[in-house]
Structure 1
Amino acid sequence: MSTYVMIHGAWHSGAELEPVAALVRASGHSVFTPTMTGNRPGDPKTTGLEDAIQSILDFISESNLDDIVLLGHSYGGIVITGVADRMASRIRRLVYLSAFVANNGESLSDLVPSHYPGLLTSLGDGSVVLPFPIWRDAYINDADLETARRAYDRLNPHPLKTFTDKLVVRTNPAEMAMPKSFINCTEDTALPHSFPLHPRLSEKLGLYRLVQTPGSHELCFSNPARLAQAVIEAGRD
């Protein structure tokens, strides 16, 4: 059995991954779903990417975890790359779930279409939110309206600086020694299919295992059981 550490994406916390984690635990695995600095209640919204990465490094160290399957969803993909660069000896496999794959010197903002930052709503405290119409049709297009609204109400304002800060790593993902997987949700339109996460960014992993599953960018809300199965397939030896 494996030990999973599942890292959430932007606007989320670890709680949103708990329905998936519970199903992975039911298969006999240990699963942890920490919330990164910047997305915890009361966190300053001036939090940067390095702060988010350090919060996961601290969680792994303080929890004394080893031989980890480290999963990152969306923005969390950049975070797990930073964690893996500094804590490679504790990680068995990296799993990128509909995730951004960045090399040294790249930010999330560098990896999206140029007009995307203008779609977000600034709250004036360093954070941004995603307007509901974009969430509904681009992020959770496989859910009914009630599920989409209920999920949207659980989101929290996200620190913009984590999107614009450049990742600093010594080793790019393709050169990292541990095995890697990429879960591609085939109805994910959070990025346009002409500028996709897969294969445009997944190929930056070098050698990796591809797991494809039907569903949107927010499969954790719309079909946790389907996502849990994909996570287990992606994380197995």
Structure 2
Amino acid sequence: MANFVLVAGAWLGAWAWDDVVPELRAAGHGVRPLTLSGLAEKSGAPAGQQTHVRDIVHEIEGHDLRDVVLVGHSYAGIPVGQAAERIGDRLRRVVFVDSNVPSHGESFVTAWPDGRAMIEASMAATGGFWAPLTEADFAGQGLSDGQIGRLVGGATPHPGATLTEPAVLGRGVGELPATYVKCLLDGAEPGPDVAELLRGEHWRLVELDTGHWPMFSRPRELARVLLDAVGPGR
């Protein structure tokens, strides 16, 4: 049995995994979807990027979880990658779902050379938060109107400090046992940083023919990918 810890990306909380959790539990695994500080039911809590790293580490260590499959979607890949390094031999595998990956000393906005101004303008207009997307922003991502409605209705403003603080890593994430899930409607190829990591011996690529939010658009297919990532028991 593995223990899945599921962390969704910007604007989202544990609720984003509602359609994935039953598939993992039916296969006999432990599952803990996690809401990061400042989001969803934790809105209002102050949060920086290292707060989110601690959220994840505390969830794992506080519940004494072992054989952890740590899953990070989109923005959450950055704190998840750092937390994976810090939990040591509790980790079984990391799964990055169409996500950013951390690089020591770099922030989320560092990887957005064309979008940094947009994000920072949003933060300036909303008191330090990144405003959620609108319905139009989800077009072309393989989502039904109902799924888009759930995303828009459940999203909360994202704490800006988590996007601008730098990652802190003791070693490169290339040494972690990792699966990278590329969602093809959001771009046919991983970014150059991920492509370089995939050339290493510890990372493997899985492609899904869907958009950036597969926990909504293709939850069963995503669950199968996560189950495949478990691999043989130790």
Report TM bin, short chain.
0.7 to 0.9
Secondary structure at the residue paired with 2:58? helix
Partner of 2:133: 131
Partner of 1:184: 182
Distance 2:24 2:54 in 1: 26
Are 2:160 and 1:160 aligned? Answer: yes
8 Å CA contact 1:48, 1:165 repeated in 2:
yes
Higher helix share: 2
Distance 1:3 1:71 in 2: 11
Equivalences, count: 227
Partner of 2:194: 202
8 Å CA contact 2:4, 2:68 repeated in 1:
yes
Amino acid at match of 1:127: F
Q: CA deviation at 1:199?
A: 4.3
With normalisation by structure 1, the TM-score equals 0.87
Distance 2:219 2:12 in 1: 15
CA RMSD in angstroms comes to: 2.1
Partner of 1:143: 143
Distance 1:201 1:134 in 2: 29
Unmatched tracts of structure 1, length 5 or more:
none
Distance 1:94 1:136 in 2: 26
Secondary structure at the residue paired with 2:34? coil
Distance 1:154 1:235 in 2: 29
Amino acid at match of 1:68: V
C-alpha offsets along residues 195-236 of structure 1, whole Å, 9 cap, x if unaligned?
x6x142323533311111111001111221121112222332
Unmatched tracts of structure 2, length 5 or more:
none
C-alpha offsets along residues 129-188 of structure 1, whole Å, 9 cap, x if unaligned?
1331553226xx2112332123211111100111111001111101x3x41111111112
Distance 2:88 2:29 in 1: 21
Are 2:226 and 1:234 aligned? Answer: no
Q: CA deviation at 1:114?
A: 2.1
**Matches of residues 9-88 of structure 1 in structure 2 within 5 Å?**
9-44=9-44, 46-88=46-88
Distance 2:180 2:228 in 1: 10
Percent identical among aligned pairs is 26
With normalisation by structure 2, the TM-score equals 0.88
8 Å CA contact 2:132, 2:158 repeated in 1:
no
Q: CA deviation at 1:110?
A: 0.8
Distance 1:149 1:43 in 2: 20
Q: CA deviation at 1:22?
A: 1.3
8 Å CA contact 2:132, 2:152 repeated in 1:
no
Q: CA deviation at 1:115?
A: 3.1
